[in-house]
Amino acid sequence: MAPVRAPLLERGAGVLPWVGTVLRVVVGTVWVVAGSLKLPDPAAAERAVRAYQLAPEGLVPLLAFGLPVLEIAVGILLLAGVFVRPAAVVSALLLAGFIAAVSSAWARGLSIDCGCFGGGGEVDADSTAYLSEIVRDGALLVAALFLVARPRTRWALLDRAPTSRGGPDAGS
Amino acid sequence: MPGPDRSPTRGRQAARERIAAKRAAEQEAERLRRRRRGQLIAGITVAVVVVAAVLVTVLVQSARTDTADAVAPANTAAGTAETGFAVGSPGAPVTVDVYEDYLCPACRAFEESTGDTLDQLVADGEVLVRYRPVAILDRFSDDAYSTRAANAAAVVADTAGADAFHAFSESLFAQQPAENGPGLTDDELIDAAAQAGAQGDDVAAAIRDLRFGDWVASATDRASRDGLTGTPRILVDGEPLEAPTAEALSAAVEAAQG
């Protein structure tokens, strides 16, 4: 490696793992919160899924009751820094699916709340928030893709980024 | 003739080094192999735990939403699978279904703007109205008012019939509480029930104990499976009304009469 590039690389290597840590905590927290809010009222969760008018009735319970568990599981893995790349891949897939579902509801002229954090169902036509829901999920998707590319971060239980000094964080 | 490197001592030395290097490489490979195996096992364990958690949650939540043994109130209308109460002549040419949540502001607006029109159509013998209370707004209430109000309405229908239910409904919409706050108290519901014609200790107990709470959940679930995503939902001979207004309703009823 050319000596002139070394300082830049070291600086990059020093900051990027911290960026990854921040994204990991943000995405992980969103998953845990979003999943937990969907568990107390299972009937409402089913209604939120049905409001999209996409899933056949037989799949509604699996989506309404299973997805929140998957969200919480992925969130815990991200927060702990364990199996970050698989968790980030699942995050990206889920978010892409949610963006597609919300876009589809928008395109079909439905007036629904995304039910992203519990709730859901029909709302007044002028209180839909499709654009902001898509932008939010898009930002989370970018964060998830960053973690797919660079899963090793600081303050992680397993997927630790190597430090330049060595020490306990080195290797892994 | 052997060269300088082929002396017996140096040959053995080199061989020992080669063996040591090979052992080190083997140990390194073994270490990597073990680590990969450990990660694989951990990964499979996590996947199994997640799948098991999903399955258990689906089972638990399905049990929580199971209302198969809900007890329906008396005086429900034919054709509503025991989830609605009919007002009007069963022989009326047009059937109107009205799905309402007692906490829903748009339902109150519908009652204010269109209730009289609907009552007139009933009085003229032109429509049979099937009122179907649902509870989808409990999360906007401090005390699950949607469910409590629908339960009280079922108690009134059970005790005093569909016309008393209708009077009780109108009274509840007239004194509708705001969202994100407390609903009417049980005592207020009991007073309103008495004014609508359902009174006594049994009525009071049924309102307080949510006697038809499971029925409310069951009726709401059935409405959701039938396509309800918001309230008010008004069907004129099965066709959803575009806008919940008196004009739209009159036009749809007229069209349905042919």
pLDDT at A123 (0 to 100): 81
Q: Cβ of B225 and A111 within 8 Å?
A: no
Contact B106, B74 (CB under 8 A): no
Q: Is the pLDDT of residue A170 over 50?
A: no
- Of B143, B167, B152, the closest CA to residue B215 belongs to B152
Q: Give the pLDDT score at A59.
A: 96
pLDDT of residue A41 exceeding 80: yes
What ipTM describes this predicted complex?
A: 0.85
Mean pLDDT of A6-35: 84
Q: Domain limits of chain A?
A: 10-149
**DSSP class of A62:** I
Indicate whether B203 pLDDT > 80. Answer: yes
| Interface contact flag, B136 A47, Cβ < 8 Å | yes
Both B213 and B106 in a single domain?
yes
Statement: residue A2 has pLDDT above 50: no
pLDDT above 70: percentage of residues in chain B: 97
pLDDT computed for residue B67 by the predictor: 86
A154 touches A162 (CB < 8 A) = no
Note whether B102 and B204 are same-domain residues: yes
Q: How far is CA A56 from CA A110, B40, B67, in A?
A: 17, 35, 21
Q: Do A46 and B224 touch (CB under 8 A)?
A: yes
Question: Within a 10 A sphere around the Cβ of B256, how many other Cβ atoms?
Answer: 17
Sheet with strand B233-236: strands edge to edge: B85-87, B127-133, B94-100, B233-236, B239-240
Can you give the residue range of the structural domain that contains B32?
Answer: 4-64
Do both B50 and B95 map to the same domain? Answer: no
pLDDT in the model for residue A13: 63
Give the CA dihedral B188, B193, B198, B201, nearest 10 degrees.
-20
CB contact under 8 A, A112 and B229: yes
Q: How many domains, chain B?
A: 2
Confidence of residue B5 (pLDDT cuts 50, 70, 90): low
Task: Give domain status of residue B242, yes or no.
Answer: yes
B46 in contact with A, Cβ within 8 Å: yes
Is the per-residue pLDDT at B40 higher than 60? yes
Per DSSP bridges, beta strands B94-100 and B233-236 are antiparallel
Same domain, B175 and B237: yes
Q: Is B228 inside any structural domain?
A: yes
Do residues B190 and B113 share a domain? yes
Site from A65, A108, A110 to mutate, B interface, most B CB atoms within 10 angstroms: A65
Closest CA to B130 of B90, B94, B98: B98
In angstroms, the separation between the Cα of residue A139 and the nearest Cα of chain B is 26
Counting every residue, how long is chain B? 258
B38 lies in the same domain as B89: no
pLDDT tens string B52-79: 999 999 999 999 999 888 999 999 999 9
- Cβ distance A45 to B61 less than 8 Å, yes or no, reads yes
pLDDT of residue A14: 78
The one-letter amino acid at B200: G
Kindly report, residue by residue over A106-119, the tens digit of the pLDDT: 999 998 989 999 88
Closest in B50, B64, B224 to A47, CB measured: B224
- Nearest-Cα distance to chain A for B199, in Å, is 32
Model confidence over B205-244: pLDDT tens digits? 999 999 999 999 999 999 999 989 889 999 999 999 988 9
Chain B residues within an 8 Å CB radius of A70: 50, 54
In a domain? residue B191: yes
With b for 16 or more beta-carbon neighbours within 10 A and e for fewer, the A50-88 pattern comes to: bbbeeeeeeebbebbbbbbbbbbbbbbbbbbbbbbebbb
With contacts defined as CB-CB under 8 Å, which chain B residues touch A171?
none
For the segment A122-131, the average pLDDT, to the nearest whole number, is: 83
Q: pLDDT-derived band of residue B257, with 50, 70 and 90 as boundaries?
A: confident
In a domain, B54, yes or no: yes
Sign of CA dihedral A28, A30, A36, A41: negative
Do B202 and B128 lie in a common domain?
A: yes
Q: Are residue B12 and residue B108 in the same domain, yes or no?
A: no
DSSP of B150-197: HHHHHHHHHHH-HHHHHHHHHHHHHTPPPTTB----HHHHHHHHHHHT
Say how far apart CA B33 and CA B55 lie, in whole Å: 33
Q: Which two tokens stand for residue A13?
A: 């290597």
Q: Which of A158-167, B75-84, B140-149, B215-224 has the lowest mean pLDDT?
A: A158-167
Mean local confidence (pLDDT), A118-141: 89
pLDDT over 70, % of chain A: 87
**B52 lies within 8 A of chain A by CB:** no
pLDDT in tens, B175-186: 999 999 999 999
Binned at pLDDT 50, 70 and 90, residue A126 comes out as: confident
In whole numbers, what is the pLDDT of chain B averaged over residues?
Answer: 93
Residue B52 located in a structural domain: yes
Q: Reply yes or no on whether the pLDDT at A32 is more than 50.
A: yes
Residues B51, B166 within the same domain:
no
Query: Does residue B98 sit in the same domain as residue B179?
Result: yes
- Substitution target from A69, A90, A160 for chain B, most B beta carbons within 10 A: A69
Which tens digit of pLDDT belongs to each residue from A72-112? Answer: 999 999 999 999 999 999 999 999 999 999 999 999 999 89
CATH of the domain at B209: 3.40.30.10
In angstroms, rounded to a whole number, what is the distance separating the alpha carbons of residues B186 and B153?
A: 12
What's the confidence (pLDDT) of residue A99? Answer: 97
